[in-house]
Amino acid sequence: MKRIIRLTESDLARIVRRVIKEEEEKEEEDCSDLCMYFYPKQNKCFSLDEFETDIEKLILGWYTEKYKNPVYRWFFSLKESDPDVKELYIMSKYSDESQKWTEMDEMIFFYELASAYCNDEMEEYIETSLEHPCHVEKPKKILA
């Protein structure tokens, strides 16, 4: 049985506003994950694997947002608490003493580690890097 429902313009506007608000809240929730970043410039949520343009800006934004969040403090403290991550960090940081380790190098290190973590490949990533210590080098500068 079909029913006809009459809506006023204000009812319709209220429904549309509610749907838009729910979508925005859903998007914010999705972007709060360690593996996601909401990029205000494009008003879009990206997974770490989707960083293709403005990469250094995206990494900077992701790192700044996640580093400040106490929920993810455990991840950034892995360089002190996890022996393998600590070894990889030290090897990366001091592999080329002629080049100074910068704040962006630090961000790229954690971005690469987080990318591996988000793809459930962190253990493999660390093992592979540590198996070939002479091949571990400072994170590469990413051109924006």
pTM score:
0.70
**Strand extents, DSSP E, the chain:** 36-39, 44-47
Encode pLDDT of 86-120 as tens digits.
999 998 888 777 788 899 999 999 999 999 999 99
Encode pLDDT of 47-80 as tens digits.
898 888 888 999 999 999 999 999 999 999 999 9
What residues contact residue 141 under an 8 Å CB cut-off, 6+ apart? 104, 108
Q: Is the dihedral of CA 31, 35, 39, 43 positive or negative?
A: negative
Encode pLDDT of 12-56 as tens digits.
888 888 877 777 665 555 688 899 998 888 888 888 988 888 889
Where exactly are the structural domains of the chain? 34-135
